[in-house]
Each structure stands twice: as structure tokens, then as C-alpha cells.
Chains A and B, each alone.
Chain A
Amino acid sequence: MAAKTGSSRVAIPSFGGKGKLWIGLLVALMAAGIAAWGYQLTTGLIATGMRNVFSWGLYIMMFVLFVGLSAGGLIISSAPKFFHSHRYEGFARLGVLVSLACIIVAGLLILPDIGRPGRIYQFFTSPDFRSPMVWDFGIVLLYGLLNLWYLWLLTRRDLAARGSALALGFKDTEAGRERDRTLMFWTAAVALPTAVALHSVTGWIFATQVGRGDWFSPLVAPVFIAKALVSGLGLLLVVSVLADRYTNFEVDREELTSLGKILGIFLAFHVVYLLAAERLPHAWADHFEFWAIMSNFLIGDSVYFWLWTVVGGAVPLAMLALPPLRKRVSVIFTASVLAVVGTMFEGIRLVFTGYEVANIDSAPGISLGGEYTGITTDIWATAGAYTPTLVEIAVTLGIIAFGAFIVTLGLKYVPIQRVDAEPSYATDGGKQDQ
């Protein structure tokens, strides 16, 4: 009994009890986030776990994650369009919606990291075009607008047919449809290189830095692309399975399995191939004996490394590769969750490798700019250490909740699927109305 008007469907016709509970939870998280940010604004960034040696923390780690997450949806919806294929059509709109929410989350995560948010206008009045951060600012903005435009373009005919105000006066006509098809092709043609640029530029923020250990590597940008493919597709699968379960959104089982397979390929390329390519030359150059080279190549250094490569790499890869498992929705779902979590730890690890070790670490070290129990008892430190504070966690969760809120609203107000494009056998399990 999906709500149908014309030939499109919104996923959430109206919020039921569970839906209201979900909205309530998100609103509570957002409120807590705003309160925590307010607190941080009055006390300063001293409320965070960051200090002079370790001067970027959770906000930047999560920024990196969410920029990556915003890749999947847009690519899955625009790549087929670019090749004039109808493959994965059922995911197209949800994909762009998720991408849009993620890039908004990423952009917002920068705000609490800024020492003086009131001066952000300086980006416009006094930009230095040598700074990768200026490039990133531009590309994140562009990417966000592109997603917004694309989502509207994909849905405006259906919005018009439903008489929604979101159609912004657009009329659904035969000629308009023809033109929209051309527009979609061109948008897809622009979206793909923009996505590549977004992830490369975000990678270059780190990869250009000579003073932060492993950051300074030409591989960082390609790794960011691979990471975006893995986590972005992973998140899209997670959201679509959840939406299928709890809303009227319907997942095409066959396409889901096929996307699961693609996720496996992305994972193999990223966690197995790129990581090996990154590690082998160093392991080889630094060690002499065969086994020393091998063990340094294969065995990582930090717990984040293991969380990323095993929990977020090997395990989901195995799940998606084994024929008896890989067709199950629950397996695809779990593997996707792990892929996202693994990518998160990869980002955390990247920031840690940059700040953990100081290039010049003679005693007494670097002044921290404030006491921080957990590093030392005085103001000096010769190495970086970082644990996020509750304030940082609350702000981050609040912003992520805002992203989830956007997706939820999208599911409510945007016709997320064309019904006619739906094969009849598509669904998984019984679906109840909300």
C-alpha cells in the first residue's frame, strides 16, 4: 500500500510511532550537539582533546570520513546515466540524497574545528590560492550544490506531478522530459570528475605536508578515491537496506547483490592492493632479511591499522566473496557496515600518523598550550597523544544526526523511486506499512 501518485513513490508517507521516535532521537542528538558547540564556543577549543602537538582531532577525522561517504551515492547514480544505462536506477535518487547529506555533514564538521568561526568570511575576502584548504573549500561547496541540483533534476517531474512545492514551479511536460534526459547526462558527466576532484583535493590537504610523517605521499589522493568508493558504496547499501526495512523504499534484490559484489571489488582494490603498494617499498628499503621485509610489510603498527585492515577490510571482503554468504541481505548489510567503520579507522589512523611523532622531539619538547591529563602532568610533550572529549563527541554526533535528519526528510518529501522502473519481484521479505 505504498503511497503512489502518478508513477513515483515517497518512502515515508507519514511518520508512525517508530518514525516519531526516530525523529525525536535525532532532534535530541542535534540539540545536545548545539549545546556542546555553544559550550565549546564560550570556553574555546580547550574543551577538546586537541593541543599544540596534536592539533587536529575528531572533527577533521570525521570530515575525512564524510567527504568519502559522500562519494558512493553520486557515483552509483551518475555512472550508469553517463553510459546511458538503467542499471541501479532504483538506487539513483536515494544515492544522491545520501551524498548530499554526507557532504553537508562534512562541511559542517569544519565549523567547530575553526578557532574563530566568525572570521570564516576571510575565505572570500582574502583567499590564498596556494592553500589546498581553499581548493577544498571550493570543491566541497561545488559538490554540495551539484548534489542538490542533481537530486532536484532527478525528481522534479515527479515532484511536479505530485503538486509538491519543491518542484519550484516546474511543469512536467513531454519536451521537458526530453530535455531533462540530456541535462542528466551532462550533470552525470560533470559529477564524475567533480567527485574525483573532491577526493583528490581532500587527500592533498594531507599529501602536500612535508612535516607530518606518512602524510607526504603521492599515494594519498588515489587512496582517498578508493576509500571513498568503499565507504560511499558501503553507506549507500546500509541506508538502502535500512530504508527497505523501515520505509516504503524498495530494494531490488538482484541489484543489491550486484552492488555488494562491486563493494567486494572496491575493498580488494583498496585494502589489499593499494595498501600493499604503499607498504612494500618502505618495508623493503628499511629491512634486510626476507622475513624482516615480509613481516614489516604484512604486520601493522597500531590498533587503528588492525581495526581498519581486518575488521574493515579482510572480514567484509571474505563475507562478500564467499558464494554461500554473499547473496544474503544480512551479510551484505554487515559487510557494508564494517567497510564504513574500517574506513573511519583508516582516517583516524591517518591523522594519528601525522601527529603522534614530533620531528624534533628533544626534551622538554613542545609546549602544549594548556594542561591535558593523559599526555603529561606539565605543559610539555615530546610526542602527540589524543583522546576526544565528550564535547567533541557530542558535537560530532549532533552534526551526523543532522545528516540523518536530512535523509529522513528526503525520504518523506522527495519521491525517491519511480514505481514503473521497479521489477515486480523486487523485494526482500514482507513489507509492512508504517
Chain B
Amino acid sequence: MTKHGLVIDQERCIGCQACAVSCKQENNVPMGQFWNRVLTEGGEKMDTPSGGYPEDGGSGSLDMQYQPTACQHCENAPCVKVCPVNATYTRDDGIVEIDYDKCIGCRYCMAACPYNARVFNWDEPEHMPEEGTGDVEARPQGVVEKCTFCSHRVDEGLDPACVVNCPADARIFGDLDDESSTVSKYIDKYETDQLLEDRGTDPNTYYISGEMSPGRPQTSDKMESELDDVSPWSDGDDDVPSKEADSAGGESSGSSHSVEGGEIPYATPAKSGGDD
């Protein structure tokens, strides 16, 4: 069995918001809504630390960390259990997804989700530009939506958009059921936490803090399991993971993109047109 999971290395994360923005673009997330947010653990405001400066008698206790937060794809997902009409369900590969045709918009799942990962289309969703962005159909007014682990990409063997676009290689996507996958190895090797572990939701998203991992250098936008060499970076080798890396920077494939190919923040290599 496959169980998709995400490891986020908070030591690597530089708080650049690239994942939040690429998520919004890839998934055509309406104005006023975010599926993925980069939170600042520290001060009161974004990008501010807690504690005091080391100078002028300050305590020198400045502390700050970023916590990118989207749907955690819980194993024991309360949102799935509360949905009265089976609109929210868990796929065989562990991804928690919403069938927008079924959703009645009761918002019980929003009450159930301890992470506030879900958003509701309170009015007619607005997109900028109007015809939308990315590769996912817009959701109507009156339904709940959230991160899908980019299931439309995963189904094509591609890593989620936020993973591919992380410039700090802080996001690692993979199969938690496969012991040789990078995610499994990192969870084993590094100090990892699940958010709000005490609630018993058992998220498939893990956060590394303490010692920094090597991350997963994104040399291709294919999922790790699609690559020929199995995660050489996880054991320190410098091997180039795949030939695809060479063609990076090629033309864009997204036919439904409304922006020019060159303006897309990442370029899809090989598989042109594969993400339609």
C-alpha cells in the first residue's frame, strides 16, 4: 500500500512563502483563502521573533521558526468521520480529499479539523486573473475546500506544487509505507513532530526541528517513487537523481495556465501536457 506523507524541515524553511503562493496558484485557490499558510512561531506578528535582543542588557533569547501549515492528511481524520454525506473521504493512498459534487456545505468538517486547514466559499469565489490559475477546476460557492496533497499531480507521478517550488528543499513528499523512502528515513532519523499530536488525529505530515536534514534537493518534479535511483541524497551521495534534471528549465506545459510560460515560477520538465 501507498501512504503519502509530507515531511517539512523547519530548520531548512526560510519563510519565503513560496509554498503558500504556489499552492494558491496551482490549485486556483480563491481570493481571501489560503490552503497553505506559512506561520511564524515566535512573536505576535509575521516574521517577528519572540524574546529579546542580545544587546543593551536584553535577554538574548530571540527565537523564531516557520511552520508551513496546510491540511495534515490525518490518518484518523475527524473531518472524514463527521462529513454526513461522504464528501470528505480518505483515498486508498492516504490523501484526504473532498468530492465537491457531494459537499452540502454544512461546515461540520471545519468544526472537526483541529488545524483550521479548511476554508469555505462564503460567496462566489473570485480569482485573479478572472479565468483562474493552475491546473485545478475552481470550486463553486457554498462548498468547503482544502489542500489535496495536489492529488491531480500525484496521480501523474508528480510531486505537489509546494514541494517542487520550495527553494530551501524543506518539503519532502513520499510514501510513508515504503521504508526506503526519504520521508520514512527522515522520520526515523530526525526529531519529528506531528502537529497537535495529543488530539489523536495521527497526521501524515511531520515536522523536523532540532537538527537540520539534507532536505530533498528538487532536481525534478517527479515524485521520488517515479525516479530511477532511490533517493541518493538521503544517504549523502551526490548522485544526480535522474536524467530529467538536465531538461529542467524547458518550456512549460500547462495549457490551462493563463500566464505566459516564462512567468511560471517553476518549469515542468519532461512530461509535457501531463498535468491537464
- A51 close to B (CB within 8 Å): yes
Q: Decide yes or no: A56 and B81 within 8 Å by CB, A45-B142, A122-B87, A370-B122 being known contacts.
A: no
Task: Point out the residue from A115, A120, A210, A362 that lies within 8 Å of B120, measured CB to CB.
Answer: A115
B83:A369 contact, CB within 8 angstroms: no
B residues in contact with A368, CB < 8 Å: 32
A:82-141 near B, CB below 8 Å? 113-117, 119-120, 122-123, 126-128, 130-134, 137
Q: Mark A265-300, 1 if CB is under 8 A from B, else 0.
A: 000000000000000000000000000000000000
Q: Decide yes or no: A212 and B111 within 8 Å by CB, A133-B84, A364-B39, A370-B32 being known contacts.
A: yes
Task: Point out the residue from B33, B86, B143, B199 that lies within 8 Å of A367, measured CB to CB.
Answer: B33
Q: Decide yes or no: A115 and B143 within 8 Å by CB, A55-B111, A360-B115 being known contacts.
A: yes
A53 and B69 alpha carbons, distance in the complex (Å): 15
B residues in contact with A358, CB < 8 Å: 116
A residues in contact with B40, CB < 8 Å: 362-364
Q: Mark A322-361, 1 if CB is under 8 A from B, else 0.
A: 0000000000000000000000000000000010001110
Q: Mark A199-240, 1 if CB is under 8 A from B, else 0.
A: 000000100111110000000000000000000000000000
Q: Decide yes or no: A122 and B122 within 8 Å by CB, A116-B142, A210-B199, A358-B116 being known contacts.
A: no
Q: Decide yes or no: A210 and B200 within 8 Å by CB, A116-B105, A358-B116 being known contacts.
A: yes
A135 (CB) vs chain B CBs: closest residue: B84
Task: Point out the residue from A52, A126, A133, A205 that lies within 8 Å of B110, measured CB to CB.
Answer: A52
- B34 close to A (CB within 8 Å): yes
A residues in contact with B41, CB < 8 Å: 362
Task: Point out the residue from A44, A55, A363 that lies within 8 Å of B43, measured CB to CB.
Answer: A363
Q: Decide yes or no: A115 and B121 within 8 Å by CB, A123-B84, A127-B85 being known contacts.
A: yes
B residues in contact with A52, CB < 8 Å: 33, 110, 116, 118-120
* A67 shortest CB reach to chain B, Å: 16
A363 and B200 alpha carbons, distance in the complex (Å): 25
B106:A115 contact, CB within 8 angstroms: yes
B82:A133 contact, CB within 8 angstroms: yes
A360:B116 contact, CB within 8 angstroms: yes
* B41 shortest CB reach to chain A, Å: 5
- B201 close to A (CB within 8 Å): yes
- A377 close to B (CB within 8 Å): no
**Which one of A117, A134, A209, A365 has the greatest number of beta carbons of chain B within 10 Å?**
A209
- A43 close to B (CB within 8 Å): yes
Number of interface residues of A (CB under 8 A): 50
A51:B105 contact, CB within 8 angstroms: no
A369:B142 contact, CB within 8 angstroms: no
A52 and B85 alpha carbons, distance in the complex (Å): 21
- A366 close to B (CB within 8 Å): yes
- A46 close to B (CB within 8 Å): yes
A residues in contact with B84, CB < 8 Å: 122-123, 127-128, 131, 133-134, 137
- B67 close to A (CB within 8 Å): yes
A131:B83 contact, CB within 8 angstroms: yes
A211 (CB) vs chain B CBs: closest residue: B114
Q: Decide yes or no: A119 and B115 within 8 Å by CB, A44-B124, A134-B84, A369-B120 being known contacts.
A: no
Q: Mark B23-48, 1 if CB is under 8 A from A, else 0.
A: 00000001011100101111111101
- A148 close to B (CB within 8 Å): no
A368 and B112 alpha carbons, distance in the complex (Å): 17
* A36 shortest CB reach to chain B, Å: 16
* B252 shortest CB reach to chain A, Å: 28
B105:A364 contact, CB within 8 angstroms: no
Task: Point out the residue from B33, B103, B196 that lies within 8 Å of A369, measured CB to CB.
Answer: B33
B82:A115 contact, CB within 8 angstroms: no
B87:A115 contact, CB within 8 angstroms: no
- B180 close to A (CB within 8 Å): no
- B78 close to A (CB within 8 Å): yes
B85:A123 contact, CB within 8 angstroms: yes
* B168 shortest CB reach to chain A, Å: 19
B residues in contact with A117, CB < 8 Å: 104
Q: Decide yes or no: A209 and B111 within 8 Å by CB, A122-B104, A366-B116 being known contacts.
A: yes
B78:A115 contact, CB within 8 angstroms: no
A residues in contact with B106, CB < 8 Å: 113-115, 133
Task: Point out the residue from A50, A133, A360, A369 that lies within 8 Å of B195, measured CB to CB.
Answer: A360
A55:B110 contact, CB within 8 angstroms: yes
* B45 shortest CB reach to chain A, Å: 5
B123:A56 contact, CB within 8 angstroms: no
20 A-B pairs with CB atoms under 8 Å apart are: A44-B122, A44-B142, A55-B120, A56-B111, A116-B103, A122-B84, A127-B86, A128-B83, A131-B84, A133-B108, A210-B199, A211-B112, A211-B115, A211-B196, A212-B111, A359-B116, A363-B45, A367-B32, A367-B34, A379-B32
Q: In the complex, given contacts A44-B122, A363-B46, what are 14 additional A-B residue pairs having Cβ atoms less than 8 angstroms apart?
A: A45-B122, A52-B33, A52-B119, A122-B87, A131-B83, A131-B84, A134-B84, A210-B78, A360-B69, A362-B40, A362-B41, A363-B44, A364-B40, A370-B122
Residues of chain A whose beta carbon lies under 8 Å from any beta carbon of chain B: 43-46, 48, 50-53, 55-56, 113-117, 119-120, 122-123, 126-128, 130-134, 137, 205, 208-212, 354, 358-360, 362-371, 379
- 8 closest A-B pairs (Cβ-Cβ)? A115-B105, A211-B114, A115-B142, A362-B39, A46-B123, A122-B85, A44-B123, A46-B122
